[in-house]
């Protein structure tokens, strides 16, 4: 890189433009990386949201439809019948619900600092708008598309390979002592100002999308946010099931046409067992969070945090499951959900506190003395 001569820096306008272009270029590259990172994280969050919560939303729609149909059958009111039809129309067909077999697993991609640095440098050097030659613009556009793909995958090694590939390409900017430099600086500053404005608008647009607004509630812990949402949906589903149970008469008369889709155990009293009576060979499902599990748990238990239960149903073994949490509240929600789906599940009353009080054995995930957190 050539160094401007003393004569060049003696020109106040030229010096001012050089500094303003350098500052605008830094702002553009920083914002470009920020927007690209935000777009990647929103895409991954949306996929995880669909896979984890999609089945729960579908379950709530089905319960809302069943409740509306039960109310309509019992009242015969035309307005209730209209609400029931509308509620049923909102229910997705079963084949469209939730993640399908073969869908890619949701994974959070956060490009690292080195990947961001390489990406920023490649965009600075290879952007198509740095040239006016149509053939060169096409070549650069294809190259930048590959750069964007590697960045979206947080592929630092791939970005390094692309940087090496581009290292032999000529720089389109006039030399520092070129008479065309001043005109180029003016054009460059105008272009950078436009790009910064466009990127700022794009960032606002992304942040205001439904998934963007949701992600910004917990930008550093999106997985935990999804777990909390799943807990809320499970609790809501349990409430809906209880309401539907109250609407259905014991003698079976006046049941809505869709009632056969529900299973009888859904409306039975929640199965429970005290900690002392849980068989030694029972299959235990612990639905607490990771830090609670690490502090103390039952050896051999299956650990699936409550927010992941729906997405990991296939991991739950067949047969009776004894479900545990800290005191029994979260596990009750999970048992209600499992029983509604025809599974044999029992809530361990009092949770791990009751287990510890009964003198049942525990282990920790830290090597320290186990305790209930």
Q: Which residues pair with 284 in a beta bridge?
A: 322
What gap in Å lies between CA 195 and CA 189, rounded to an integer? Answer: 10
Compute and round to an integer the Cα radius of gyration of the chain: 30
The answer to whether 97 and 55 are in contact (CB under 8 A) is yes
Given the DSSP bridges, would you call strands 272-274 and 302-303 parallel, antiparallel or unpaired?
unpaired
Catalytic residue among 325, 352, 354, 372: 325
> For the residues of 125-178, what is the DSSP string, one character each?
HH-GGG---HHHHHHHHHHHHHHHHHHHTT-HHHHHHHHHHHTTSPP-SPPTT-
Active site residue 164: no
Closest Cα to residue 31, out of 126, 145, 160, 120? Answer: 120
What gap in Å lies between CA 366 and CA 361, rounded to an integer? Answer: 16
Element spanning 206, H or E: helix 181-207
| Contacting residues for 354 by C-beta, under 8 A, at least 6 apart | 274, 275, 276, 327, 328, 348
For residue 44, what are the CA distances in angstroms to 67, 200, 301? 34, 21, 30
φ, ψ at 220 (rounded to 5°): -90, -15
Active site members: 325
């Amino acid at each position: 890189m050539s160094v401007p001569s003393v004569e060049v820096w003696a020109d106040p306008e030229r010096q001012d433009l050089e500094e303003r272009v350098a500052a605008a270029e830094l702002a553009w590259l920083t914002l470009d990386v920020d927007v690209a990172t935000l777009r990647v994280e929103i895409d991954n969050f949306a996929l995880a949201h669909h896979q984890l919560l999609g089945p729960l939303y579908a379950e709530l729609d089905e319960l809302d439809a069943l409740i509306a149909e039960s109310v309509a059958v019992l009242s015969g009111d035309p307005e209730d019948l209209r609400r029931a039809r509308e509620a049923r129309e909102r229910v997705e067909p079963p084949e469209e619900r939730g993640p399908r077999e073969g869908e890619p697993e949701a994974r959070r991609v956060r490009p690292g600092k080195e990947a961001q640095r390489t990406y920023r440098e490649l965009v600075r050097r290879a952007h198509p708008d740095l040239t006016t030659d149509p053939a060169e613009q096409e070549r650069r556009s294809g190259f930048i598309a590959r750069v964007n793909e590697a960045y979206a995958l947080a592929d630092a090694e791939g970005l390094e390979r692309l940087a090496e590939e581009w290292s032999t390409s000529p720089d389109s900017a006039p030399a520092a002592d070129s008479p065309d430099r001043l005109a180029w600086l003016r054009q460059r500053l105008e272009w950078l100002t436009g790009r910064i404005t466009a990127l700022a608008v794009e960032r606002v647009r992304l942040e205001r999308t439904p998934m963007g607004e949701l992600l910004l509630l917990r930008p550093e812990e999106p997985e935990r946010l999804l777990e909390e949402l799943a807990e809320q949906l499970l609790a809501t589903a349990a409430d809906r099931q209880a309401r539907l149970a109250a609407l259905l008469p014991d003698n079976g008369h006046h049941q809505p046409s869709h009632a056969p889709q529900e299973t009888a155990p859904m409306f039975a009293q929640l199965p429970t067992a005290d900690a002392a009576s849980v068989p030694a060979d029972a299959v235990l499902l612990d639905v607490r969070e990771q830090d609670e599990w690490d502090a103390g748990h039952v050896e051999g238990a299956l650990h699936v945090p409550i927010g992941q239960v729906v997405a990991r149903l296939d991991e739950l073994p067949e047969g009776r499951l004894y479900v545990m949490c800290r005191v029994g509240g979260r596990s009750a929600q999970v048992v209600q959900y499992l029983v509604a789906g025809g599974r044999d599940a029992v809530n361990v009353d009092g949770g791990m506190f009751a287990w510890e009080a009964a003198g049942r054995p525990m282990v920790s995930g830290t090597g320290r003395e186990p305790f209930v957190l």
